[in-house]
Structure 1
Amino acid sequence: MRAAARHSAAGTLTAALLLTTLAAAPAGGASDPFGTSRRAGAAAELRGTAVAAARARQTGIDFGRCAADQDMPGSMECGTVSVPLDYADPGGRQIRLSVSRVRATQRDPHNSKRKVPRQGALVFNPGGPGASGFYFPLIGMLPEWKRIAAAYDLVGYAPRGVGRSAPLSCQDPKRFFKGPSQAPTHPSASYKRERVAQAKAYARGCAERTGGALRHYHSLNNARDLDVLRAALGERRLTFMGASYGTYFGALYASLFPSHVRRMVFDSPVDPSPEQIWYRNNLAQSAAFEGRWADLREWIAEHDKVYGLGDTAEEVLRSYEKARARLAAEPAGGKVGPGQLQGAFLQAGYYDDYWPLRAQALSEYLKGDPQLLIDIAGPVREAAAEAENSSAVYTAVECNDAPWPRDFRVWDRDNTRLARVAPFETWDNVWTNLPCAYWLAPRQRPLDVRTGPGEVPPVLILAAERDAAAPYDGALELHRRLSGSVLVTERDAGSHGVAGGPNRCVNSYFEAYLLEGRLPSRRAACAGRAEPVPSPSR
């Protein structure tokens, strides 16, 4: 799932009741997930993973200078690791994953004369699906990461399908950015028919451009790739940090390879319950974003003297709707319509840091200056290929991972109901995921993520209470499923991703775990970070 203010108690209850009602929605046809054929297939893939890992251990990764067009600092090294396209056939077609590394500095950032013992490699995945962690090792240059960068080789990689790692594509990147576009919160029947046709065409494009290989791009293979990468790095056991979707296949890894786990950090987890993957998780996300959108409007209203968009959340909403109507009639710069406006403010739902600039852009646009809105919301044509690739991987993984409703009437029923109380993201989320209704490749059955007492070392789970991209219930569910895990909550906060950020309390738990293996004895909480400081309109 893709794709984070203060939920009032009433709002949270409304969303919970709504999602309880929607839980009756079928996610696909029923079949025995533990049938004979599946067990045989899983055993073959487990053997194939062991074969591929043994091969990778012998070969290693030939790290060297990064390609000139990657423009990396000299401390970062690049290489590749080969993994089977199909783990049931480990000797068959191989694909190469791009890997990056910055070696542990082994220098105490607070005492340059003190040498820090190296603890191995820390592998990171930022989520998506479709996001690349290739540039992650550069994070060691930030002050909040220097202690971790001293002890660990920071390792990033592009998962299968992403970037240079056997990249997927579902349409011509030149046609990817469609703008300006509309974003109706209560779409008409004719608009729905148009989007259904687009979803069918997109699903066909994925199948035609990738062929039979398409079915091998899914979360279980992402977890298997992670074990091959571990072996290639020469690590007996894996130290891993996953954010957002990265927590899901990290949890799959813990379930599949429990004896290979050293330490794991799950930041902003998604709900791993098989029945939630992925249709119902997206319903939950759409409901949660409504609360986050209300939080942003409340913050803008608190700073009405700066932005002049209204001194109540309702007045700010009227200002936003005024801008939507104006952009529908005349797109800003010929390329920013209501869809681009909604996309810019959806990003602000992920990160508090985006709030001031979005509010400033809306304020200046309504005062007659559209340039800032064009700058932050307009499509960047130069990024079209990367964005199309990311979208293709997102779609392939989510569609391959689980059954989805195949009848649009199910989607229409559930989301029409949801949009009555959560209109901000609901239909945009539908159009993003609707190709899964018409997917041609075979579907996986989600693994029941679960570890028993003592099966894996204790893992650390970090979550913000008001995260909309990965609603907090997902963190609670992952905590229940991973025996011995410890959950640290950032209270009254909603940014998506909390480790290594501005919250010193969260970082203290994060560092104590990675550097010393030390966890609180039970669940812990940290006060939320300070709200962003408004930036004045020009």
Structure 2
Amino acid sequence: MHSMRKVIALLSAVTAVAALSGTTAASASPDTFAAQDTGQGKLVWSSCGDTATPALQCAMLDVPVDYADPHGRKIKIKVNRLPATAPKSGQQGPILLNPGGPGDSGLWMPAYIAGQIPQDVASTYDWIGFDPRGTNASEPHVLCDAHYFDGPRPDYQVSQGTSKAWLAKAAGYAADCAADWSWLMPHMTTVDNARDMDSIRRALGAPKINFYGGSWGTSLGSTYGQLFPSRVRRMVLDSIVGPTITWYDHNVLQDKEHQRRFDAFADWAAKADSVYHLGTDGASVEKAYQQVEADLRTHPVDAAPAAGRIGPAEFEDTFYGGGYNFLRWPRMATVLSAYVTHHDTQPLNIAYNRYAAPGADDGTFPAYNAAQCTENAWPRDWEFWKEDQAKVNASAPFYTYNNMWFNAACMFWPHQGNTAGRLKITGKGLPPVLLFQATEDAATPYEGGLAMHDALPGSKLVVQNGGSFHEILFHGNACLDDTFTAYLRDGSLPEGRGRIAKTCAPEAAPDPVYVTPTPAFAGKAAAKPLAPTDPEAVHGVHR
């Protein structure tokens, strides 16, 4: 893309569209938009052609780009549903589903989640998935730079002298987004997506909706509840983004929690020295990690079948997901063991292709930036970032600079953040909301669950003490899943009256096994990428 075009687009976007970045959102009162003509279209259902779930239906829904101009330019939202099969008298209406991101597809969720709970409850709901605006199968699918994540990327560690390269890369990405998408980017906030949910509700002909959201989906759900409290019947928020923290500060919290999870992984692997041979203390395991990363700086590994090579940045991306899902730990430890003890790179290649290899384009990264960079006023001065992030890195070196560069486009984002912050969540007019939070969650730290409970006076908070999954439902924990099912069945809530209404135990850590390739992959370099329902998959806010 021509550099002058980028600069012009960037400057014009900053001056002309900054006012559109959500200033009405922070001051919107409950149900402000509930009575307005939103200008959205109708849902015309047809088979999705899903052989595993033939009953699944798909449709596209026209919605306004800008809800302040409901009859202006339109975009399309991809929606699917698994219809209720219970007798009409026993049906409980639609339940909208979102896995987080921001921007992740929810189309896999109706069939999956309905299959995780007893049929007598699942059959009473219309399960509704959707792709957030500008993402996945919604139209348009926003693409800023299809090759942004191609490897090898510059080293994340500032000590390696790559800061100028990353600053140029991040600024170029922001300019690319502005060049082609300045008409849409200011309208891809959480508030815009919440209004899309109400457009879906209207098109379904439902007076109220139910909702389940995880990770960023908790921001989406609470935002919907703030804008349209009278339209909420039941709401479940799982692994919660605090309602008042800025996105910049949220990322700093993530850095600290990911360090704790990496330390926990290292201690776990050290206890299995007879399996992995990485040393008998966590420090030795972490030293092995650092050794592999250092080697990859001078000897990157071919990433086949993915394009490019696995250098230190790609290596870090392969490992940070262990903070979301500790079922990855045996494979992570195997990667280190194979490399350090035999210089065998095949486990690394398999893990990279399963966990971290980029897709065909930049995926949901435009939506991620459009929401996070626009909803808060981010620091715009690199000198501030450099000094502040160095302080964080001093105690949390595993993830800090990886996370910093992932979010660096916000330093240059053309649509200025709303200085008033995200929509204030008060819970006024909402029915009781059911909250789930693990104490060791790295992606949405525990403080967020407490803060959301405090913001929603009628809510009930279920805490998994010692739990570390990101999005803690549907991992086979009956204490958690049965609480969810009871609420969906008849609105039953935990009876505890304190700040924490119910406590559940964590799942056991995985067995320390050396993960060898299955026979099908014995002679190949990589395994198939994870499906959203794979036990080792992670959902939600990816940073």
Which residue pairs with 1:90 in the alignment? 70
- Contact 2:376/2:422 (8 A) holds in 1: no
Contact 2:437 2:464 in 1 (8 A): yes
Which residue pairs with 1:489 in the alignment?
A: 463
Q: Which runs of 5+ in 1 are unaligned?
A: 1-36, 108-114
Q: Among 46, 49, 56, which residue is 1:64 paired with?
A: 46
Identity over aligned pairs, percent: 34
**Equivalent in the alignment of 2:504:** 526
Are residues 167 and 416 of structure 1, via their aligned partners in 2, closer, same or farther at CA, if it must alter by over 3 Å?
Answer: farther
Q: What is the Cα deviation at residue 252 of structure 1?
A: 1.1
- Alpha-carbon distance in 2 for matches of 1:144, 1:517: 15
Q: Which amino acid aligns with 1:267?
A: D
Residue 123 and residue 185 in structure 1: after superposition, are their counterparts in 2 closer, same or farther (change >3 A)? Answer: same
Q: What's the counterpart of residue 476 of structure 2?
A: 502
Matched position secondary structure for 2:90: coil
1:179 is matched with 151
SS at 1:354's partner residue? Answer: helix
Residues 154 and 402 from structure 1, CA distance in 2 versus in 1: closer, same or farther, beyond 3 angstroms? same
Is residue 375 of structure 1 aligned with residue 350 of structure 2? Answer: yes
Taking structure 1 as reference, are residues 378 and 328 closer, same or farther at Cα in structure 2, changes over 3 Å only? farther
Q: Secondary structure at the match of 2:178?
A: helix
Question: Are 1:145 and 1:500, in contact at CA under 8 Å, matched by a contact in 2?
Answer: no
Mapping of residues 78-227 of structure 1, within 5 Å:
78-106=58-86, 117-140=90-113, 142-144=115-117, 146-173=119-146, 175-188=147-160, 190-227=161-198
Q: Cα distance 1:38–1:307, how it changes in 2: closer, same or farther (>3 A)?
A: closer
Deviations 1:285-310 (A, max 9, x none): 11111101111111111222111122
**How much does 1:40 deviate?**
10
Distance 1:240 1:281 in 2: 24
Mapped pair 1:407 → 2:389: no
Q: CA deviation at 1:163?
A: 1.0
- Residues in 2 aligned to 1:349 and 1:44: alpha-carbon distance in whole angstroms: 37
Shift of 1:402: 1.5
Alignment check: 8 A CA contact 1:177 1:381 kept: no
Task: State whether residues 223 and 253 of structure 1, in contact with CA within 8 Å, keep that contact through their aligned partners in structure 2.
Answer: yes
SS at match of 1:222: helix
Aligned residue identity for 1:62? V
Report the 3-state secondary structure (helix = DSSP H, G, I; strand = E; otherwise coil) of the residue aligned with 2:197: helix
1:148 deviates by 4.1
Which residue of the other structure, out of 51, 69, 72, is the alignment partner of 2:36? 51
1:100, 1:135 within 8 Å by CA — same for their partners in 2?
no
How far has the Cα of 1:336 moved from its partner?
Answer: 1.3
Amino acid at match of 2:374: N
1:326, 1:168 → 2: CA distance? 38
Measured after TM superposition, the shift of residue 140 of structure 1 is 4.3
Aligned with 1:384: secondary structure?
A: coil
In 2: Cα distance, 1:129 partner to 1:503 partner: 26
Q: How far apart, CA to CA, are the structure 1 residues paired with 2:273 and 2:117? A: 33
SS in 1 for 2:129: strand
Residues in 2 aligned to 1:418 and 1:253: alpha-carbon distance in whole angstroms: 33
Contact 2:76–2:140 at 8 Å: present in 1 too? no
Structure 2: which amino acid aligns with 1:279? Answer: Y
**2:281 paired residue among 312, 321, 328:** 312
Normalised TM-score (structure 1): 0.84
Q: Matches of 2:454 and 2:315 in 1, distance apart?
A: 38
CA gap of 1:90–1:72, structure 2 versus 1, over 3 A, is: farther
Cα 1:535–1:295 shift into 2, 3 Å: same
Say which of 454, 458, 465 aligns to 1:480.
Answer: 454
CA-based RMSD of the aligned residues comes to: 2.7
Kept in 2, the 8 Å contact 1:248–1:270? The answer is yes
1:514 aligns with 2:488: yes
Whole-Å Cα distance in 1 between the matches of residues 24 and 469 of structure 2?
A: 40
* 1:117 CA drift (Å): 2.7
In structure 2, the CA distance between the partners of 1:351 and 1:382, relative to structure 1 (3 Å rule), is: closer
Give the length in aligned residue pairs. Answer: 485
1:36-88 deviation line (CA, Å, top 9, x unaligned): x95699679976664345x65xx64211122x6x7763121100122110011
Structure 1 residue 361: Cα displacement: 2.3
Q: How far apart, CA to CA, are the structure 1 residues paired with 2:384 and 2:216?
A: 25
Tell me the distance in 2 between the aligned counterparts of 1:120 and 1:210: 36
Q: Say which is worse superposed, 321-330 or 259-268, in terms of deviation.
A: 321-330
**TM-fit CA distance, 1:90:** 0.3
Match of 1:30 in 2: none
Which whole-Å CA distance do the structure 2 matches of 1:247 and 1:355 have between them? 27
More helix by share: 1
The amino acid that maps onto 1:418 is V
Consecutive unaligned residues in structure 2, runs of 5 or more = 1-21, 304-308, 517-543
